[in-house]
Amino acid sequence: MATLLEQWWAVQNDPDLTSEMKDSLIESLRVAAYESIELPVGISGTSVVVTSVTVTGALVECDGTGEFSWPLRLYSPPIGIPDSEGTEIAPDGSSWRTDPIEVVADAVRSAL
Amino acid sequence: MTTSVFYDAEARTVDLAQNADASSGNVTVSTIYTNLNTMLDTGVTLVQQVNNSASTTNPNATFAATPTNGNAMIALVVRGADNVASTNASWTLLTSAGSAGARRLEVWWRRAGASEATLHTWTNGTAALWEVTLIEYGGWAAYADPQTIIAGGNLTSGTIATFTDTGILESVCAVVTSGGSAGTFTNTGTNTESVTDLPFTTTTRFRAMSVDAYTNRPTGQTNQITWTTNRVSTRAQVGWENGAQSQASGAFGRIIGNDAQTATAFAGQVGLRFDTSAIPDVDTVTSATMTLTAYNGTVAWPSNTSVNAYSLAAAAIAADNSNTRAVWKKPTEIQALTRVASRAAGSAWVANTAYTWTSDSTFPAAINKTGNTTILLATGDQQTGTLRSTQEIANISTTLGSVHYLTVIHDLVIARAGGLASAEAVSGVTRLVNVLLRIGGKASDEAFGGIGRFDLTAPIGSITTGEQFGGAALTGLLARVGGIPSAELVAGISSITTQAFQTIDVGSISSGETFGSFTIYKVGGSVVAAHTVTGIVVASAPTVTGLVSAVEALTGVTASTHLLQP
């Protein structure tokens, strides 16, 4: 069973899909990934706690508590992050893991 | 406040080093920087070309003019009836191919010396049909050696000969066919600035052309020239490249920075585009940071120079058919840009790891709220034109749309007007989106001059003193003006719509009030019945307390319509 990231890459690299079809499938995968986050979730190393995640099209909007300029809006975010120990191998050979909350966490940390 | 994160929508790497893809170029970083104007602006120039053909031994041709010292010469030595190799110790063979008993294509090059000969002869002991074309190239060709772009090879089907590659400054494409009529050669080339047919006038078996590519094509776009013939053929392409596509997807990531000045691999810069149009136009950007991820293989970070981000405003970074360079900038051009972020020399740089650049105070203003924010990544050395004996490069991930991002914190200019301590001028605002404006607690007169429209629901419950909403056309306004304790001036309101009932509770008349042209004086006793003052409908019987203490004049009032009891 392919992971969400592997499905993501498969869609991106499928020459038979139109860009509209790719966008639609990617958005479905994004919804599946971000709606799987168990809330609330704290961001380690910060006072931030994410209490809600809403996916609308390519936009992922988070709200929460803690010292942060809410809301947090991610435009066309990925659903995973590079990880040298990850088991999901991108088409370019790099290692990843499906981890949408870590995508959110990286975004939070970049703003602090 | 809102935090928005934008992932890179487009990235482009341009590496001026001619052998960035590990081909056999000879251009050092020092040569590039010493001749930047020639490389980037002049390019490779076609100086002269000549051809000769016969069926004798020793193919040869003669330039019409003496080639300029230092220029590069290309020779196409082709045979139309056999595959017998020619030799010339003064020239270097770039590539060759052929088919026994049928044809042969050889491409040679030589750098012209002082008092260069015009006649050049190849040795071949077989007398058979041959043709030689000599071409002299100047400009950047005087500094860089030509390379083989497509090695000589036989095309077994007589249909199409396609020449395709990226990053070509100038190239020579050549085709030779077998036997008889060569058929029709049709140049259907696209994406090139100009194509010069090279002279093969004595036989239809040979064709060649010089292709001048657009300057803004170093990477990311395929240069394609197609010739169509109905015969089997042999083809080759040589020329000068201008940055290699392989750097964008190859084994070293996207390169920023220069190789050692005597080395030949890297002189790269990177353009990144972020679509930041989702930021509301009326918002103010208060913070911007850029996070980039290191390449996932072998990584490098400069020891002696910073890696900087410069604002390209909203400039396009894509390769296109133009001579406008979008990404690679000369030192003087970088100096004219605004630096928005940097990361110091010697910083940590671990594969597959994200790092946030240190933002300059200029970064927020460089965020484009109406479209793309494009960034040029270059080193401090590239900004100053400094060359070093050490390699000073960084390499970032080639992954698009996931690991490089901008984090922007922004806020609405007028988020809450309720607590304004004194009169505030909000001028020049053309559009307010999703504004919930509470006016209830204004302490004094406020002017909102020039605002054309409020989509506003505002309680104005406690107006304590005269408030002026001059000039505003109020639509959709639900306003309670219940407790006006004294005369209030609401001037200049052009229309109040959607208000079915307007109730103004005037309460107790404590002093003289003006109702149109009439004046009512307080009298002693009470009014015993409803009365009507012409032109004004009084909803209920008012109570006039006290006694009439003086003569009362009700000028213009019809006596029969009211009854006063003394």
Distance of alpha carbon A107 from alpha carbon A101, whole angstroms: 10
Q: Are B453 and B475 in contact (CB under 8 A)?
A: yes
What's the mean pLDDT in B307-320? 91
Tell me: pLDDT of B307 over 90.
yes
pLDDT of residue B18: 59
Distance of alpha carbon A75 from alpha carbon A56, whole angstroms: 10
Contact A82 B405 (CB under 8 A): no
Give residue B370's region: left, alpha or beta (phi > 0; psi -120 to 50): alpha
pLDDT of residue B410: 95
Q: Are B143 and B39 in contact (CB under 8 A)?
A: yes
Contact A69 B7 (CB under 8 A): no
Radius of gyration of chain A measured on its C-alpha atoms: 15
The residue among B1, B2, B4 with the most chain A CBs within 10 A of its CB, best to mutate, is B4
Q: Are B43 and B212 in contact (CB under 8 A)?
A: yes
pLDDT of residue B193: 78
Residue B308, burial from CB neighbour count under 10 angstroms (0-12, 13-18, 19+): buried
Contact B352 A75 (CB under 8 A): no
pLDDT of residue B451: 41
Mean pLDDT, chain B, as a whole number? 75
In percent, how much of chain B has pLDDT > 70? 63
Beta strand ranges found along B413-513 (DSSP E)? none
Helix (H, G, I), strand (E, B) or coil at B559: helix
Q: Are B219 and B244 in contact (CB under 8 A)?
A: yes
What's the mean pLDDT in B135-144? 93
Lowest mean pLDDT among B156-160, B423-427, B432-436: B432-436
Distances (CA, A) of B33 to B15, B36, B332, B390: 13, 5, 12, 15
DSSP code, position A8 = H
What's the mean pLDDT in B205-220? 77
Tell me: pLDDT of B206 over 80.
yes
> B159: pLDDT confidence band, cut at 50, 70 and 90?
low
Helix axes A4-12, A19-34, angle to 10 degrees: 170
User: From edge to edge, which strands make up the β-sheet containing B44-54?
Assistant: B44-54, B130-139, B72-79, B103-111, B92-99
Which residues lie across from B447 on neighbouring strands?
B425
Select the more confidently predicted residue: B380 or B436: B380
Distances (CA, A) of B228 to A60, B85, B198, B553: 51, 26, 17, 110
Q: Are B7 and B274 in contact (CB under 8 A)?
A: yes
pLDDT of residue B232: 82
User: Which one of B397, B407, B411 has the shortest CB-CB distance to A107?
Assistant: B407
pLDDT of residue A88: 92
Select the more confidently predicted residue: B427 or B405: B405
Please tell me the distance in Å from B320's CA to the nearest CA on chain A.
Answer: 21
State the SS3 of B89-105.
Answer: CCCEEEEEEEECCCEEE
Lowest mean pLDDT among B19-33, B126-140, B456-470: B456-470
User: Which one of A69, A70, A94 has the shortest CB-CB distance to B296?
Assistant: A94
CB neighbourhood size of B2 (10 A): 18
Helix (H, G, I), strand (E, B) or coil at B188: coil
> B22: pLDDT confidence band, cut at 50, 70 and 90?
very low
| Exposure b/e, A51-72, CB count within 10 A at least 16 = b | eebebeeebbbbebeeebbbeb
Beta strand ranges found along B345-451 (DSSP E)? 354-356, 358-359, 372-379, 392-396, 405-412
Tell me: pLDDT of B500 over 70.
no
Beta strand ranges found along A1-112 (DSSP E)? 41-42, 49-56, 59-65, 72-75, 80-82, 88-89, 95-98
What's the mean pLDDT in B326-344? 95
Q: Which amino acid is at B397?
A: S
> Taking an 8 Å Cβ-Cβ cutoff, which residues of chain B contact chain A?
1-7, 9, 249, 275, 278, 287, 289, 291, 293, 296, 351-354, 356, 397-399, 401-403, 405, 407, 409, 411
Which of B94-103, B146-155, B497-506 has the largest mean confidence?
Answer: B94-103
Q: Which residues of A touch B398 (CB under 8 A)?
A: 92
> A14: pLDDT confidence band, cut at 50, 70 and 90?
very high
Select the more confidently predicted residue: B501 or A33: A33
Residue B227 CB contacts under 8 Å (≥ 6 apart), including other chains: B160, B161, B162, B163, B173, B175, B185, B186, B187, B188, B207
Contact pairs from chain A to chain B, CB under 8 Å: 83
> B314: pLDDT confidence band, cut at 50, 70 and 90?
confident
Helix (H, G, I), strand (E, B) or coil at B346: coil
Sign of CA dihedral B308, B313, B318, B321: negative
Distance of alpha carbon B50 from alpha carbon B198, whole angstroms: 8
> B177: pLDDT confidence band, cut at 50, 70 and 90?
confident
Q: Which residues of A touch B249 (CB under 8 A)?
A: 92
What's the mean pLDDT in B352-359? 95
Distance of alpha carbon B119 from alpha carbon B493, whole angstroms: 93
Select the more confidently predicted residue: B111 or B442: B111
The number of residues in chain A equals: 112
Mean pLDDT, chain A, as a whole number? 93
Q: Which residues of B touch A72 (CB under 8 A)?
A: 2-5
Q: State whether ipTM is beyond 0.90.
A: yes
Tokens describing residue B248: 């964008």
Please report how many Cα atoms fall inside a 13 Å half-sphere around the Cα of residue B562, on the Cβ side. Answer: 20
Tell me: pLDDT of B91 over 70.
yes
Beta strand ranges found along B60-159 (DSSP E)? 60-62, 72-79, 92-99, 103-111, 119-121, 130-139, 147-155
pLDDT of residue B537: 42
pLDDT of residue B250: 54
* End-to-end Cα spacing for chain B: 67
Tell me: pLDDT of B434 over 50.
no
Tens of pLDDT, residue by residue over B379-419, are: 999 999 999 999 999 999 988 999 999 999 999 865 444 44
What's the mean pLDDT in B80-96? 95
The residue among A19, A43, A76, A112 with the most chain B CBs within 10 A of its CB, best to mutate, is A76
Give residue B357's region: left, alpha or beta (phi > 0; psi -120 to 50): beta
| Exposure b/e, B225-263, CB count within 10 A at least 16 = b | bebebebbbbbbbbbbbbbbbbbbebebbbbbbbbbbeb
Contact B293 A82 (CB under 8 A): yes
Contact A78 B402 (CB under 8 A): yes
Please tell me the distance in Å from A59's CA to the nearest CA on chain B.
Answer: 10
Select the more confidently predicted residue: B422 or B161: B161
Select the more confidently predicted residue: A73 or B554: A73
pLDDT of residue B253: 85
Tell me: pLDDT of B320 over 90.
no
Please tell me the distance in Å from A62's CA to the nearest CA on chain B.
Answer: 10
> B64: pLDDT confidence band, cut at 50, 70 and 90?
very high
Among residues B355, B251, B349, the alpha carbon closest in space to that of B297 is found at B251
With tokens 């139109």, the residue in question is A18
Contact B352 A106 (CB under 8 A): no
Lowest mean pLDDT among A63-72, B33-42, B124-133, B467-476: B467-476
> B7: pLDDT confidence band, cut at 50, 70 and 90?
very high
If you measure CA to CA, which chain A residue comes closest to B288?
A111
What's the mean pLDDT in B94-108? 93
* Cis peptide leading into residue A40 (ω within 30°): yes
Distance of alpha carbon B38 from alpha carbon B32, whole angstroms: 9
Residue B478, burial from CB neighbour count under 10 angstroms (0-12, 13-18, 19+): exposed
> B544: pLDDT confidence band, cut at 50, 70 and 90?
very low
Residue A26 CB contacts under 8 Å (≥ 6 apart), including other chains: A8, A11, A12
Residue B489 CB contacts under 8 Å (≥ 6 apart), including other chains: B466, B468
The residue among B405, B406, B411 with the most chain A CBs within 10 A of its CB, best to mutate, is B405
In percent, how much of chain B has pLDDT > 90? 42
Contact B399 A82 (CB under 8 A): yes
Tell me: pLDDT of A80 over 90.
yes
Q: Which residues of A touch B296 (CB under 8 A)?
A: 82, 84, 92-95
Select the more confidently predicted residue: B291 or B489: B291
> B201: pLDDT confidence band, cut at 50, 70 and 90?
low
User: Which one of A68, A84, A111 has the shortest CB-CB distance to B352?
Assistant: A84
